[in-house]
Structure 1
Amino acid sequence: MRYMPLLLSAAIVAPAAHADIQLNGFLSAVGGTATDEPIRNYEKDFTFTQDSIFGLQARADLSDKLSITGQLVSRGKDDFATELAWGYLAYEASKNLTLRMGRFRTPFYFYSDFLEVGYAYPWVAPAHEVYEGLQFDNINGMDAIYNVTLFNTIEAQFQTYFGSMNDEYALNKSGQVLDAQTRNNLGLSATFGIGDFSLRASAHSAKTTVHDFNDIVLDKESQTTLASFKLQLEQLGAAAPTLGVPALSQMTQELITELDLNDTETTFTQIGLKYDGEYLFGVAEATNLDFKTGPAADQQRYFVSTGVNIGSTVLFVSYSEADDEAVDLSKELTALNQNPALAPTLTPVIDALDGISQALTVTSKTTSVGIRYDFEPGAALKLQFDNIDTPDATDPTKTNSQGLVRFGVDLVF
């Protein structure tokens, strides 16, 4: 048996000696500063971690049709911890059809395939409102990619996939990180290209669960969690007969059920249009994320960007917006709160419910201007200024405007 490790090693190494191995990499070294209060993980002092990233990708062609691909990525926002972002087996069933199994990028967006390759686009990073909405970039599963030319004019690509995911989910406002999973992920994307124009649309569905959702902190000072708030709702429901409102018992039970993200049916849709000419470019993309049940807001996001190409220089302007639709958790209790006798009891509960809704909702607008200069083959310098408008925390009718300056170098090799 002592020869078994040697035999296994030989079995693993021998095919690699005949495989055609390709190695590629990418790097984004990005620094930035907030002009006022900290925003989007940047502060008033210059920092160089949030958007910095390094990746290596290897592909081995085992035969004319069979290949394996792996990608290792280190992200500054994760303290440069290295993870296997991609790792899949691909089989070219025909000249048009490719089948894959393993871990690969989920085809949510126009720029999904090269989301972390900064050299592939003019901005320091894709529009925050749109591309940070899902947080789940990769999937474990299988897919099929079909390329075809339609009417001798239209270059079309269709991709469908099935799989699952386990990852971390950060709450929009507090940034608290929770463990999340999706199951029965199913999606279809279609891209059509005619000359310099591209049209893309996609639709996706999954069952979403956030395991420790009850652990979210509703109030930092008191450290009140969602679990303890649900106990308050149970106590309120038990007191319904005493308060003279029997219907309150059913209302609180329905709220306890709604304040959960467990096997929630989730759908995501996307549509985008892009023009990439010799001197001009433009892109517009809109997305919608909908939760069938639960307290999470329905996400409504879009961005537009345009610019000019002047030799090795690109000048661009962009606008992106998040206008999420919050779930009105307190609607029925607010109606009961018109009774002065109930107001002292219901008002704190209503305020807490409204706080939960707002914590899971994003409203922001970003206007960006920037420049990109390709100073060497495979290397680009970038400078970008973002003006970010968000509602005032104390008075939502007012708007806070903050600036963010970022600069960096993008490389591919």
Structure 2
Amino acid sequence: MLAAGRTGILAFATLILMLAGSGAVAMNPFSVQGFGTLGAVYNTTDNAGFIRDLGQPKGATGWETATDSMVGLQLAYRPNEKFEAVIQGVSRYSYDDTFQPRVSWAFIKYQLTPDVAVRAGRLGWDAYMLADSRNIGYSYLWVRPPIEYFGALQFSHLDGADIEVRHAFGETIASFKLYVGQADEKLPLLDDGDLFDLKGIEAYGAHLGLQTRNWSHRIGASLYHNPNSLPPPYSTFTDLLRATDDPLAPGFANDFDIAGSDTYNVNYSVAYDNGGLQAQFLANLSQSNKRMISDHYQLLGLLGYRIGQFTPYLIYTGTWLYNFDDSVDLSPDNPLYFAGELLIESTDWEQHSWKGGVRFDFMPKAALKLQVEHIQSEGYPSYWRDVKPGWDGDADVFSLTVDFIF
């Protein structure tokens, strides 16, 4: 079991249950809403720890309840139709090995016109379709957002502003959003607890959406600029490279120092919902100007069909390399040549998986989900923790969750 202290999530859950049980969580112009997940996951291999996302420092081997369990509370103040203020807190297993509650949203919104709205503050980073509701398990079919696709999203929120324009053309609703902000989170990098501080990373993006009676389309693009270097041992290695007499070393060191990196994402999503049938297809292309952040493309396909209270579903998803350069641009006699090969190996990774499951809406605003998935990780296991030497990259993961909202 993970060593995370569960005091925070228990206290937060108690607060939410008190509010839900009071039966009076809406007081105009104030409203209180909540969401949560109680989950258990079983990883068949003990050679690598399974994680929900890159923000988790330790992974599940065998049974674990911390991976997916979380609880959130959202307070909104809306004195009129034009102005709204929202704050949301979430308690979940995160980078510091605890369930300490953190503010995930905190923004003010102003409706300039019936079609134009602006927001400022802490916002969910919705660079992809469904990305800004990643913590609300009740809002989607799967147990968790597949890491093979959503793993490229290192941020859960941004401190900044956005503007959205929405307009109806008959039965079609068109929308356009433009946003800008800075990250303020930490990511665990290595099994020994080293953290990468995302604070100061600037993000920019836009997306265009079209929604009809049964179809939703969205195309988006984002850029984030990172001014920060990775902590040791990565920064130590690049510093040592620059200190050698090898004339090729400075260029190689610069390629593997992510300070000054620009990473671009371009994505397209389409969803179809008609009666019991649900289908989604998402595609993303990610590219960087630094070799340390290797270029990948991600695909996700989902098919589900609702039969009464049950919705069985099937998912295939993956992330694959493209334009990968494995050349070691150092002089062969450089004493750090072998270390350079190891560094390149750490950027050589792919992963894909099949996931099948069923969602059971056993009561209003609550759903039980059972999911089975077979995962194949190739190359460096970037989406795993505590990996033992010789692991072949295969794993089967079983998940059971109860998702609820109120």
Q: Same fold (TM over 0.5)?
A: yes
Counterparts of 2:71 and 2:41 in 1: how far apart (Å)?
A: 17
Q: 2:43 aligns with which of 18, 34, 44?
A: 34
2:106 aligned with 1:107: no
Q: 2:143 aligns with which of 115, 124, 142?
A: 124
Query: Would the alpha carbon gap of residues 63 and 386 (structure 1) be closer, same or farther in structure 2, given more than 3 Å must change?
Result: same
Deviation string, structure 1 residues 385-408 (Cα, Å, up to 9, x no partner): 1101112679x9995321011101
2:21 aligned with 1:21: no
Counterparts of 1:207 and 1:393 in 2: how far apart (Å)?
A: 24
Tell me the CA shift for residue 203 of structure 1: 0.6
Runs of 4+ with >4 A deviation: 172-176, 396-399
In structure 2, the residue matched to 1:240 is: none
Q: Which has the larger radius of gyration?
A: 1
Counterparts of 2:262 and 2:78 in 1: how far apart (Å)?
A: 39
Q: Are the aligned partners of 2:279 and 2:302 in contact in 1 as well (CA < 8 Å)?
A: yes
Tell me the CA shift for residue 226 of structure 1: 2.8
In structure 2, the residue matched to 1:69 is: 86
Deviation string, structure 1 residues 343-365 (Cα, Å, up to 9, x no partner): xx34x633322322332343111
Q: 1:406 aligns with which of 385, 399, 402?
A: 399
Deviation string, structure 1 residues 57-87 (Cα, Å, up to 9, x no partner): 1110133311100101000345211011000
Deviation string, structure 1 residues 149-199 (Cα, Å, up to 9, x no partner): 13x232112111122122213448988421123544221111111221111
In structure 1, the residue matched to 2:386 is: none
In structure 2, the residue matched to 1:147 is: 166
Counterparts of 2:191 and 2:376 in 1: how far apart (Å)?
A: 15
Instruction: State how 1:5-404 maps to structure 2 within 5 Å.
Output: 20-37=29-46, 38-41=48-51, 42-77=59-94, 78-150=97-169, 152-171=170-189, 176-211=194-229, 213-215=230-232, 225-237=233-245, 248-249=246-247, 251-325=248-322, 328=325, 330-333=327-330, 337=332, 345-346=333-334, 349-391=336-378, 400-404=393-397
Q: Which amino acid aligns with 2:377?
A: T
Query: Would the alpha carbon gap of residues 310 and 145 (structure 1) be closer, same or farther in structure 2, given more than 3 Å must change?
Result: same
Query: Would the alpha carbon gap of residues 314 and 175 (structure 1) be closer, same or farther in structure 2, given more than 3 Å must change?
Result: farther
Tell me the CA shift for residue 53 of structure 1: 1.1
Query: Would the alpha carbon gap of residues 329 and 180 (structure 1) be closer, same or farther in structure 2, given more than 3 Å must change?
Result: farther
Which consecutive unaligned segments of at least 5 residues does structure 1 have? 1-17, 216-224, 238-247, 338-344
Q: Are the aligned partners of 2:202 and 2:226 in contact in 1 as well (CA < 8 Å)?
A: no
Counterparts of 2:83 and 2:238 in 1: how far apart (Å)?
A: 53
Coordinate RMSD, CA, aligned: 2.6
Counterparts of 2:214 and 2:148 in 1: how far apart (Å)?
A: 26
TM-score normalised by length of structure 1: 0.81
Which structure dedicates a bigger proportion of its chain to helix? 1
In structure 1, the residue matched to 2:54 is: none
Counterparts of 1:43 and 1:266 in 2: how far apart (Å)?
A: 30
